[in-house]
């Protein structure tokens, strides 16, 4: 939006809109060039064991989804989360190979997202604004500094992961969106050795869920999450999204889905995916009537 405003301003001043947009693009891209290289021969890996121990204490797996106990994170876990994010931000990413970098950025994104959901006071329009194409301050707010570059969630999703791994659409499923209708938070942190298999599993699970696809022949609808991430991971091409989804469906489902020519999105469940402890029912103080069974 700001780019088009700048272009309009340039036109009013008699300047070339394309040259202004080109200059802005160069200025915007320059900071992210720091993260464009990897060490293909590197055997270096990051030990996430302590972070995994923490995650094991604050997540609950329920019906195939991972829910975060945000009350516990907010009340007791934030100092540790801050420490972890600070430690990861000091990592020299360029010394890692490609898969280690992929695991690193996914873990950083999801931890930063966890902290943001735990600390933001108004999440009411977290994804409604995004659905309307209006990426509000939540997504563009700078939340971590890596190698001297301030980064937002949008920066990590688009400018880093999209730019470096845009040919791997499964990466989209590793990006925790904080909502019940999005891909679930993986219960296990990504590692360079397993990241490809982890993403493949997450992708298959999400595509075959009602959150991602409501299969009704030609009237089938997709999750708006695909619309959000269409540009960085699907080349801004609806047909690539359709082909990608078809590959992950069973033969029977794929045959039905093949009738879909144009993408339509269904209403997304944007409720924050937070674990809520179920209240235990209190025993009644009143005497219970005899059931008529043995011993009555």
- Mean pLDDT for 191-206 is 97
Mean of per-residue pLDDT scores for the chain: 84
Give pLDDT, residue 271. Answer: 87
Give pLDDT, residue 8. Answer: 38
Banded pLDDT at 219 (limits 50, 70, 90):
confident
Q: Report how far residue 80's alpha carbon sits from residue 212's, in angstroms, rounded to the nearest whole number.
A: 33
Q: What is the pTM of this model?
A: 0.82
Banded pLDDT at 126 (limits 50, 70, 90):
low
Residue 109 or residue 287, greater confidence? 109
Q: Lowest mean pLDDT: which of 13-22, 76-85, 115-124, 240-249?
A: 13-22
Alpha-carbon distances of 288 from 283, 291, 295, 296, rounded to whole Å: 11, 9, 14, 12
Is the pLDDT at 51 greater than 50, yes or no? yes
Per domain, the residue ranges of the chain are 44-210
Give pLDDT, residue 259. Answer: 87
**What share of the chain has pLDDT > 90, as a percent?**
63
Is the pLDDT at 2 greater than 80, yes or no? no
Residue 290 or residue 108, greater confidence? 108
- Mean pLDDT for 13-35 is 57
**What share of the chain has pLDDT > 70, as a percent?**
79
Give pLDDT, residue 134. Answer: 60
Give pLDDT, residue 54. Answer: 95
pLDDT tens digits for 135-175? 567 888 899 999 999 999 999 999 999 999 999 999 999 99
Is the pLDDT at 58 greater than 70, yes or no? yes
- Mean pLDDT for 211-240 is 93
Give pLDDT, residue 256. Answer: 87
């Amino acid at each position: 939006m700001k780019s088009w405003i700048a272009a309009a301003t340039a036109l009013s001043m008699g300047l070339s809109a394309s040259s202004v947009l080109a200059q802005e693009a160069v200025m915007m891209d320059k900071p992210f060039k720091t993260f464009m290289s990897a060490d293909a021969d590197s055997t270096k890996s990051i030990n996430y064991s302590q972070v995994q121990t923490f995650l094991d204490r604050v997540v609950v797996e329920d019906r195939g989804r991972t829910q975060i106990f945000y009350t516990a994170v907010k009340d007791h876990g934030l100092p540790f989360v801050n420490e972890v994010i600070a430690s990861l931000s000091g990592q020299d990413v360029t010394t890692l190979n490609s898969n280690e970098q992929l695991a690193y950025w996914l873990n950083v994104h999801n931890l930063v997202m966890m902290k943001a959901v735990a600390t933001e006071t108004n999440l009411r329009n977290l994804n409604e604004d995004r659905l309307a194409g209006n990426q509000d301050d939540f997504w563009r707010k700078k939340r971590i500094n890596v190698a001297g570059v301030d980064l937002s969630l949008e920066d990590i999703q688009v400018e880093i992961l999209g730019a470096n791994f845009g040919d791997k659409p499964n990466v989209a499923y590793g990006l925790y969106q904080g909502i019940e209708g999005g891909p679930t938070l993986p219960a296990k942190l990504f590692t360079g050795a397993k990241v490809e298999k982890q993403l493949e599993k997450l992708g298959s699970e999400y595509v075959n869920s009602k959150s991602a696809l409501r299969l009704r022949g030609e009237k089938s609808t997709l999750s708006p999450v695909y619309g959000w991430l269409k540009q960085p991971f699907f080349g801004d091409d609806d047909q690539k999204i359709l082909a990608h989804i078809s590959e992950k469906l069973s033969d029977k489902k794929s045959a039905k889905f093949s009738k879909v020519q144009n993408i339509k999105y269904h209403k997304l469940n944007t409720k924050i995916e937070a674990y809520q402890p179920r209240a235990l029912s209190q025993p009644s103080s009143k005497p219970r009537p005899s059931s008529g069974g043995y011993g009555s």
